[in-house]
Amino acid sequence: MDNKTYRSPVREKGFVGLGDYAAIGEGRSVALIAPDGSIDWWCAPNLDSPPLFDRILDAQIGGFFQIEPVGEYQVQRHYREDSNVLETCYKTDSGSVRLTESLNSSLAGRLPWSELARRIEGLDGSVELKLHLRLGTMAETRSPWLADTQQGTVFHIGDLMAMLKSSDDVTMTHFSDEAISGRLTTSPGSQSLIALLASEKEPLAVPSLAAINDRIETSHIAWRDWVHHLSYDGKYPLHVKRSALALKFLWYSPTGALAAAATTSLPEGLGGEKNYDYRYAWVRDACLIIKAFVYLGALEDCKAAFSWLTRTIIRHGVKLRACYTLEGDIVPEERYLPLSGYCNSQPVRVGNNARDQVQLSMYGDMLATAQLFIEAGHVLDIATSRMLGELANCCADSWRQKDSGIWELPDEQHYTHSKMACWLALDRAVAMADGKHIEPTWVARWRRERDRIRDWIEEFCWSDKKQAYLFYVGSEDRLDASLALVHHYGNTVNPQRMLSTYQAIRHELGHDSAMLYRYSNVEEEESTFVACSFWLAEALAAMGETGQAAQAMEEILECLCNRGNVETFNEMFDVRTGSWRGNLPQGLSHLALICAAQALSHPKQTEDANAEGT
């Protein structure tokens, strides 16, 4: 946000806009902070734990932790440069104050407890602030209670223990089992600290306030060190670094898993039923994030994520599931929570039934990611190499089936994207076998099956009437923006048809703009899908249409990044109202920005990489 631009935060019926949230995290959990100083979402200690704060899903009974000036104020927020430490400045008639917030870590990685630190600094004049903490009830399944200890008052919420620590100048005005209230008045140069400590099913460490305060700076140093070791050297560096830091929120350090997003049930359309739990690791999303990490030069994250993915698949067998828990287990079946939902959008879900779907495109995701991992200079182990060969054989056997497609639809069809992804899987398997990275026993079969898929796509998925590849076989004139993800197929098989498809997608799914809906007719119930827009820019650049790609990229960034937000992207953006929709931070949205920037920065390298795979 511009340093001279301020605005007043507004809650409507207890909610703020989804695009107004900023995130903080430490490699294990993510907290979402509204402009009015309220932490409305935090699952502690893990990304997929029951939330301690959940006002974002129920304004009446949800937990939150707010520090806010008394009376009228204006607010400005930004992340520190190359960091996920958040700074918020409040300006009042009597003075101004800075709030610095961090989920703390150490230089050696995450702490063995959760440490949410909030530092308050008086900048000028005097500002009175109010503090209010309302503990969550885990969707009315737990009743918080406090207990006095020698180290201070501890709150118990089910298996979670939490302690609020504050400097002496914070006066507590209310203290009960369910809530805490307090006041604080700043002066020029004053510094105060309020911190929340938490642990689950284990003892709670109680560090000193000085140590917690120092760890804000330690965390900042750790973030900057990670960014400074990235090797990205392309266009849009500030946007790329910010998206890289957002993706880092979703990297679950205890296992290396990559969550699709940090939230559940934030609606794709207000009042609709498309409210899903994304706090799990999707094979597709993980593969695409690994691709972004490769472009960033984030070797440690790339290796850890790819190893977790291959280890999890081997553990459960090569019959791929769409998603797994962050610990590598089977995702629980969906259940509904008795919460009102964001702006009364229900249901509020835990679990995800996509776990049981057939999604053929995952074969392409896995084998293309493995090839990219190798091209980045890494070496496959024997178990992973054998697993990839098994996946290629499964793909060769399964590609003729109908599936739920990339969009996880209940209507199983012969989706064009799925077939193109199967072609990509076998094309990459052939390349890896030729390079002696995986066993070549079945390579001749893979070549023949790959060519059969190509012929099938060209016969059944192309529409002369639309001059485009269709959404699925028999869909008449419907289009699918996800075809931008398989530009490798078009580059190799039929560039003219693929480019014609992309023009049709921009015209019909974007109404001649770069902001795209996922597929035909879906705009009636949801908003434009951020990742699709960046995917099209990437695809156009990869296919040599750099002018169109650059124009699209500029249009997308202008739409998404100049609205006073901190570039914490949701899944969708409503171009009709200027509002964000869906879960956040959304991995697909941020990784797609990075991949588009990479394609625009190095189009020749992208074309060469495509050619090498054929």
Chain mean pLDDT for the chain = 94
Residue 217 CB partners (closer than 8 Å, separation 6+): none
Instruction: Please tell me the predicted confidence (pLDDT) of residue 614.
Output: 38
Q: How far apart are CA 153 and CA 150, in angstroms?
A: 8
Instruction: Tell whether the model's pLDDT for residue 106 goes beyond 80.
Output: yes
Rounded average pLDDT over 185-206? 97
Rounded average pLDDT over 534-540? 98
Band of residue 272 on the pLDDT scale cut at 50, 70, 90: confident
CA separation, residue 76 to residues 5, 235, 355 (Å): 7, 27, 41
Q: Could you tell me how far CA 254 lies from the centroid of its own chain?
A: 18
Instruction: Specify the amino acid at residue 397.
Output: D
Give me the torsion for CA of 299, 305, 311, 313, rounded to 10°: -130
Whether 414 contacts 473, CB under 8 Å: yes
Instruction: Please tell me the predicted confidence (pLDDT) of residue 3.
Output: 41
Band of residue 607 on the pLDDT scale cut at 50, 70, 90: very low
**Minimal CA–CA distance to 531: which of 568, 581, 481?**
481
**Minimal CA–CA distance to 390: which of 317, 321, 454?**
317
Instruction: Please tell me the predicted confidence (pLDDT) of residue 271.
Output: 86
Number of alpha carbons in the 13 Å side-chain half-sphere of residue 72: 3
Residue 359 region, left (φ>0) first, then alpha (ψ -120 to 50), else beta? beta
Instruction: Please tell me the predicted confidence (pLDDT) of residue 108.
Output: 85
Does residue 477 sit in helix, strand or coil?
coil
Class of residue 251 by CB neighbours under 10 A (exposed 0-12, middle 13-18, buried 19+): buried
**Minimal CA–CA distance to 102: which of 19, 33, 48, 25?**
25
Instruction: Tell whether the model's pLDDT for residue 1 goes beyond 80.
Output: no
For the chain, what percent of residues have pLDDT higher than 90? 93
Alpha helices, DSSP H, located in 229-381 = 237-249, 283-296, 299-316, 361-375
Q: Which helix (H) or strand (E) holds 60?
A: none
Alpha helices, DSSP H, located in 510-545 = 530-542
Band of residue 8 on the pLDDT scale cut at 50, 70, 90: low
DSSP 198-257: EEESSPPP---HHHHHHHHHHHHHHHHHHHHT----SS-HHHHHHHHHHHHHTEETTTTE
Burial string for 541-553 (b: 16+ CB within 10 Å, else e) reads bbbbbeebbbebb
Band of residue 434 on the pLDDT scale cut at 50, 70, 90: very high
Rounded average pLDDT over 442-451? 98
Alpha helices, DSSP H, located in 399-518 = 416-434, 443-460, 487-492, 495-509
Residue 296 CB partners (closer than 8 Å, separation 6+): 230, 231, 232, 240, 244, 594
List, in sequence order, every residue forming a beta bridge with 15; answer none if it has no partner: 12
Q: Which residue has the tokens 């900057």?
A: 224
Class of residue 473 by CB neighbours under 10 A (exposed 0-12, middle 13-18, buried 19+): middle
**Minimal CA–CA distance to 352: which of 297, 419, 414, 281?**
281
Rounded average pLDDT over 371-389? 95
Rounded average pLDDT over 258-263? 98
Rounded average pLDDT over 596-614? 66
Q: Which two tokens stand for residue 312?
A: 């999890």
Cα 376-377-383 angle, rounded to 5 deg: 105
Q: How far apart are CA 187 and CA 182, in angstroms?
A: 17
Q: Could you tell me how far CA 88 lies from the centroid of its own chain?
A: 23
Class of residue 468 by CB neighbours under 10 A (exposed 0-12, middle 13-18, buried 19+): buried
In tens, the pLDDT along 13-69 reads 999 999 999 999 999 999 999 999 999 999 999 999 999 999 999 999 999 999 999
Neighbours of 394 (CB within 10 A): 18
Instruction: Please tell me the predicted confidence (pLDDT) of residue 5.
Output: 43
Instruction: Tell whether the model's pLDDT for residue 609 goes beyond 60.
Output: no
Q: How far apart are CA 313 and CA 131, in angstroms?
A: 46
Instruction: Please tell me the predicted confidence (pLDDT) of residue 611.
Output: 44
Instruction: Please tell me the predicted confidence (pLDDT) of residue 612.
Output: 42
In tens, the pLDDT along 501-533 reads 999 999 999 999 999 999 999 998 999 999 999
Instruction: Tell whether the model's pLDDT for residue 601 goes beyond 80.
Output: yes
Q: How far apart are CA 125 and CA 324, in angstroms?
A: 52
Rounded average pLDDT over 80-86? 98
Q: Which residue has the tokens 């001749």?
A: 444
In tens, the pLDDT along 273-323 reads 899 999 999 999 999 999 999 999 999 999 999 999 999 999 998 789 999
Residue 527 CB partners (closer than 8 Å, separation 6+): 268, 269, 517, 572, 573, 574, 575, 576, 579, 581, 582
Rounded average pLDDT over 436-449? 97
Whether 98 contacts 88, CB under 8 Å: yes
Phi, psi at residue 428, to the nearest 5°?
A: -70, -35
